[in-house]
Structure 1
Amino acid sequence: IDSSWYVQPELTYRLPLTNVSGDEAFSPWKVGQLRLGVNIFFGFSESTSTPTSRSSSLNASMGRITAFDRDGREYDVRELTVEDVRYNEMFPLVPYMFANEGQPSPGADLQTGGIDPMSGDFMPESLPLDAVEVNRNLLNVIGARLKKTPQATLTITGTTDGKELGKNGDRDGLARKRAEWAKAYLVSSFGIDADRIAVRTSSSPSRPSSSTDPDGIAENRRVEFSSNVPDILAPVVITADNQRVSTPDLVNFHPVVESEDSVSTWSLEILQAGRPLRSLQGRGRPSTIGWSIKPNDLSSQQVPVDFEFTARTAGGDSTTVVGTIPVDYVSSVRKRTENLPDRTVDKYSLILFDFDKATLNEDNQRILEMMVLPSIRANSRVSVIGYTDRIGGDDYNKKLSAERAQTVRLFLQSRAKDATYSSSGVGESTEIFPNASPIGRQLSRTVQVIVETPRR
């Protein structure tokens, strides 16, 4: 049977259409835990999807579920392999605090505040393994580092997009309010001496984003941070043993929606054993929906991932596609008992390039030399993957991301020659961070370096 008609036991049970047993003594019996009894099928079966619809004029199916390998080749995802590994990840700090139009302070979606100075020291290393959350805590990270580095000073520069408040508005005043808000937070929450923090304003950012695209304009409403001590704004490194890491860790859903009416909204719910993993929504007809699987997102059991895609039209019709992706969990115990290879994974998300550029400056070379090169061994496999945000054309972004990845690969390869290298650029085809927010777009302009080293 082909992939469109392949049926797994959990599908029968999930709908549910029949009882587990035909014996009347056990009827009715439709218990979710039955999936654990048939996990051998999950490792050898393909992802499945089943459409349901309220309207004959609206139909949907899950065309493909794909991922990119380390060489940038797209392939169909048949299962997710979850593995216990020693895992280290470096998260870049975007040195900007963004504000909404006309507002002197950031919204809760842009910056996490409320640190109580009496509750104890804030520890950047205790943040979750999530680049967006790390950067939503930018002020807290800066405050904690300034507190531990008394010789460090900070310069805060407030900017605007050059258009907000209208032609006669006091944009310089707004820029100053934004910078002063950030300074006041650091002084009150972390006890930083106000004399260590200088406030400036600028009519535009020092390295502005696009001034013609709405996303770029939103990114120019910001506060910029700089310090005489580079460590104040250095990336955050979080080390954790025995993390559950998925391969692949970036999955693309490709739904196909056919409708006589326009598609107004869509949603994709992703669960495992009834536990919500991710909820994604959007407007219009979707082409590709990206799911970034963070460490420990998936459970330590042989339980498949369920997904439910729903499309809705302006006329009120809706259609839903449900399906599963098998999961194979490789625990540390299983590795020892089956003599399977073990490895250490070091992941570095690097924002090394200015907007629309693919060249490394001296500061960025220092980051690669100090933070990435020490983890590369002669038997390491180094994968360099370039990404972009959604600003710009698809083809151009893919070319730009490939050039950035190649720049980083050549730099590393010239210094650690014995390792095995690959590089690729996928552009905006995989949304690794939510592009709806300025933080997500800045983080999306990244090159990820993944160093996999065998462990004895």
Structure 2
Amino acid sequence: MMLAINTANAQNWMFGVSAAGNLNYLTGTTQRLDNTYFVPTAFHKGTDFRPYGSILAEYNPKKVFGAILNIAYDGRGGKFDDVIAPCDCPATLNSKLSYVAIEPSLRVNLGTASNLFLFAGPRAAFNLSKDYEYTQLQQQDRSGEFSAVKKTIFSGQVGLGYDYAITNPTSATKVVLAPFISYHPYFGQDPRTIESLSISTVRAGVAIKLGKGSKIEAVKDNSVIVPNREVDFTVRAPKTILLKREVSETLPLLNYVFFDEGSTTIPNRYIQLNANNASNFKEDQLQKAVNSNMTGRSARQLNVYHNILNIIGDRLRANPNSNINLSGASANGAAEGTLFAEEIKQYWVSNFGINGNRIATQGRTKPLVPSEQLGGSKELALLREGDRRVDITSSSPELALEVGGGMMKPVMIVSDLEDPLDSHLIFNVGGASSLLKTYTITTKDENGTTQTYGPYTRDKESVAGKTILGERNMGDYTITMNGTTKSGKAVSKEAKVHLMRQTDMGAKGYRYSILFNFDKTKTIASYEKFLNESVVPLISDGSTVIIHGHTDMIGNEDYNNNLSNDRAMEAQRILEKALKSAGKTKVKFETFGFGEDPNKAPFDNSTPEERFYNRTVIIDIVPTN
């Protein structure tokens, strides 16, 4: 960079440049690198030098106080201390964080005749680069951009400098050489919104300042350095394509009953039994129950949920010492909420013979965990529809799961999983969300027949293998990604795959689901015991675990994509930690965040219960054979 300086008539002003080295100290935890990659072993410490350069203006009236302004390129990256991955092989991580920094400082002269001065002030930094390079022995090196990097950070500095004049005192042009050292504590130096990476910096360098003299012509340099990063494209194709797989599913029992606007009676979609049928009802009847009216996605799962009154009635009858609480909520007032709760209580008392003293009821205007938040203004009709409900909670261990804030114990069912994710082609388009406007995927078989899917914007997408095969049993395909960069440049990448249909259903798989309240991610931690004790024992070494996060249709699409990915990655982190402790080191994870994508959502979004069930992370354990 060349500096244009005009110092005419600048008696108290000086202008110049500085160059320095930042000795950066990296502390905290860094394990998740980007939205799709979570390294097996966390990095905690590191140091390295990175460059610093600035243009500066200084006002020094030769009194006690003055002022300095630096506009700088500020390198805050560093090399983390090497770690050992679970494969007993070394791994390294190099951060290339850099910023454009604005640093105004108060200059304090240590005596009017002294050239020594102190300076201190705030720092506003705007992220310029967030690249990383990760290496691990026995696997391909990886580079990319850190996710969740703050665009702007605010911190501070304090330092010491010395002015050394290198021109004659009588010269019309003053040139001052000023070595300096400064310290930037970790306060405010957290570059990411996730994890706990923090950076402290010691900076040492020299500034050259000019003042009071003839005009120095400007030298212009309009060149701009642009990172030369390309979009990566890979395809994960299944060895064989299953049309369906029998799955033993642990289905969370959503502990809500929703009421329709304008009515205080239990909606007809909830299955209600007369006293005679209720006496013969057993929860395990739902494990493989098939109803001719079951249509649409996740029909069996919804049928189980719509039996919630019968399931809990059966559990109350089988556990006579257990109690339950019903909290009805209605925006029309607590009295109507109480009517909702009493309606459910009366059903259990009359049809299942439950003693009413075991069932406590109350009314509220808002549910225990409301979806509608104070100050919210968007999609209020859907949020309020979800808040018109009865919350069912219990402290009895026979009824409630010891996680998730009162969640009922799950229901075990056996279902046929249509079009399982391990039979999808996964398209990994690294950098798509940051570099591309949109892209499409085109498949072309050996006969020249093409199909096009998209447009897409996310870094990872999938298409069912059976959709690409159609009526064929096998075929060779050329997969082409065609995209347009944000600057308007066309990008094309290609891969080849062989697809083959599998005629039988294969071995039985396992599925677990975790539910979330509206816009919440932290509840995943409360499921850690459940994941460790119930899920991990069923994951055999060498198997594949597919984790996919979803949200309902409410809210911003990009936000929902990130939210679902955060939930899925956190579930993976918990499972990986437990598997490592159990000595299972060969488990492969495929983790996705599908957001509100209606083509990937496990349920529709037409009723409140479907939207609540879409706020989920689903864990599919794919058998090894």
Q: Supply the distance in 2 between the matched residues of 1:327 and 1:344 (Cα, whole angstroms).
A: 20
Contact 1:83–1:330 (CA under 8 A) maintained in structure 2: no
Contact 1:155–1:199 (CA under 8 A) maintained in structure 2: yes
Note if 1:201 corresponds to 2:363. Answer: yes
Note if 1:372 corresponds to 2:540. Answer: no
Note if 1:236 corresponds to 2:403. Answer: no
Contact 1:96–1:224 (CA under 8 A) maintained in structure 2: yes
The within-5 A match list for 1:48-197 is 81-83=242-244, 85=246, 87-109=247-269, 111-118=270-277, 120-127=279-286, 128=289, 130-160=300-330, 162=331, 164=332, 171-197=333-359
Q: CA deviation at 1:84?
A: 5.4
TM-score (norm 1): 0.58
Note if 1:432 corresponds to 2:602. Answer: yes
Q: Supply the distance in 1 between the matched residues of 2:472 and 2:344 (Cα, whole angstroms).
A: 45
Find the counterpart in structure 2 of residue 445 from structure 1: 615
Q: 1:453 to 1:217 in 2, by over 3 A?
A: same
Tell me: higher relative CO, structure 1 or 2? Use CA pairs within 8 A at least 6 residues apart.
1
Q: 1:119 to 1:231 in 2, by over 3 A?
A: closer
Q: Supply the distance in 2 between the matched residues of 1:74 and 1:303 (Cα, whole angstroms).
A: 20
Find the counterpart in structure 1 of residue 555 from structure 2: 392
Q: 1:327 to 1:247 in 2, by over 3 A?
A: farther
Find the counterpart in structure 1 of residue 504 from structure 2: 331
Q: 1:362 to 1:195 in 2, by over 3 A?
A: farther
Q: Supply the distance in 2 between the matched residues of 1:206 and 1:250 (Cα, whole angstroms).
A: 40
Find the counterpart in structure 1 of residue 564 from structure 2: 401
Secondary structure of 1:228 counterpart: coil
Secondary structure of 2:508 counterpart: strand
Q: 1:422 to 1:81 in 2, by over 3 A?
A: closer
Q: 1:83 to 1:435 in 2, by over 3 A?
A: closer
Find the counterpart in structure 2 of residue 58 from structure 1: none
Find the counterpart in structure 1 of residue 521 from structure 2: 358
Letter in 1 for 2:243: V
Q: Supply the distance in 2 between the matched residues of 1:102 and 1:250 (Cα, whole angstroms).
A: 45
Letter in 1 for 2:306: R
Note if 1:222 corresponds to 2:393. Answer: no
Q: CA deviation at 1:195?
A: 1.0
Contact 1:388–1:428 (CA under 8 A) maintained in structure 2: yes
Contact 1:84–1:330 (CA under 8 A) maintained in structure 2: no
Q: 1:400 to 1:176 in 2, by over 3 A?
A: same
Find the counterpart in structure 1 of residue 175 from structure 2: none
Find the counterpart in structure 2 of residue 349 from structure 1: 513
Contact 1:98–1:221 (CA under 8 A) maintained in structure 2: yes
Contact 1:82–1:327 (CA under 8 A) maintained in structure 2: no
Secondary structure of 2:602 counterpart: coil
Q: CA deviation at 1:202?
A: 1.8
Q: Supply the distance in 1 between the matched residues of 2:559 and 2:589 (Cα, whole angstroms).
A: 24
Q: 1:363 to 1:244 in 2, by over 3 A?
A: closer
Q: CA deviation at 1:137?
A: 1.1
Q: Supply the distance in 2 between the matched residues of 1:217 and 1:329 (Cα, whole angstroms).
A: 46
Secondary structure of 1:379 counterpart: coil
Letter in 1 for 2:302: V
Find the counterpart in structure 2 of residue 34 from structure 1: none
Q: Supply the distance in 2 between the matched residues of 1:141 and 1:200 (Cα, whole angstroms).
A: 22
Q: Deviations over 1:108-162 (max 9, x none)?
A: 13x22124445643233332472221111111111111111122100011111x2
Secondary structure of 1:234 counterpart: strand
Letter in 1 for 2:346: A
Note if 1:454 corresponds to 2:586. Answer: no
Gaps of 5+ in 1: 1-72, 165-170, 252-286, 294-301, 305-325, 333-341
Q: Supply the distance in 2 between the matched residues of 1:354 and 1:383 (Cα, whole angstroms).
A: 22
How many residue pairs align between the two structures? 297
Q: CA deviation at 1:230?
A: 3.8
* Match for residue 422 of structure 1 among 590, 610, 625: 590
Gaps of 5+ in 2: 1-233, 290-298, 400-407, 425-454, 457-463, 465-470, 474-498
Secondary structure of 2:513 counterpart: strand
Secondary structure of 2:621 counterpart: strand
Letter in 2 for 1:201: G
Q: CA deviation at 1:181?
A: 0.3
Q: Supply the distance in 2 between the matched residues of 1:369 and 1:75 (Cα, whole angstroms).
A: 28
Q: Supply the distance in 1 between the matched residues of 2:593 and 2:245 (Cα, whole angstroms).
A: 27
Q: CA deviation at 1:378?
A: 1.6
Letter in 2 for 1:178: F
Contact 2:266–2:343 (CA under 8 A) maintained in structure 1: no
Q: Supply the distance in 2 between the matched residues of 1:327 and 1:180 (Cα, whole angstroms).
A: 56
Q: 1:101 to 1:347 in 2, by over 3 A?
A: same
Secondary structure of 2:570 counterpart: helix
Q: Supply the distance in 2 between the matched residues of 1:188 and 1:358 (Cα, whole angstroms).
A: 39
Secondary structure of 1:347 counterpart: strand
Q: 1:205 to 1:432 in 2, by over 3 A?
A: same
Find the counterpart in structure 2 of residue 307 from structure 1: none
Q: CA deviation at 1:374?
A: 2.4
Q: 1:244 to 1:431 in 2, by over 3 A?
A: closer
Find the counterpart in structure 2 of residue 321 from structure 1: none
TM-score (norm 2): 0.43
Structure having the higher helix fraction is 1
Contact 1:387–1:445 (CA under 8 A) maintained in structure 2: yes
Find the counterpart in structure 2 of residue 413 from structure 1: 576
Q: 1:106 to 1:329 in 2, by over 3 A?
A: farther
Secondary structure of 2:522 counterpart: coil
Letter in 2 for 1:156: L
Q: 1:117 to 1:407 in 2, by over 3 A?
A: farther
Contact 1:80–1:327 (CA under 8 A) maintained in structure 2: yes
Q: Supply the distance in 2 between the matched residues of 1:209 and 1:250 (Cα, whole angstroms).
A: 35
Q: Between 216-225 and 119-128, report the one with greater CA deviation.
A: 119-128
Q: Supply the distance in 2 between the matched residues of 1:123 and 1:327 (Cα, whole angstroms).
A: 42
Contact 2:517–2:612 (CA under 8 A) maintained in structure 1: no
Alignment RMSD, CA only? 3.5
Letter in 2 for 1:217: R
Identity %: 27
Secondary structure of 1:330 counterpart: coil
Structure having the higher strand fraction is 2
Letter in 1 for 2:619: V
Q: Deviations over 1:152-190 (max 9, x none)?
A: 100011111x2x4xxxxxx22211110000000111121
Q: 1:216 to 1:84 in 2, by over 3 A?
A: closer
Q: CA deviation at 1:226?
A: 0.6
Contact 1:344–1:454 (CA under 8 A) maintained in structure 2: no
Q: Supply the distance in 1 between the matched residues of 2:305 and 2:368 (Cα, whole angstroms).
A: 20
Q: Supply the distance in 1 between the matched residues of 2:350 and 2:235 (Cα, whole angstroms).
A: 50
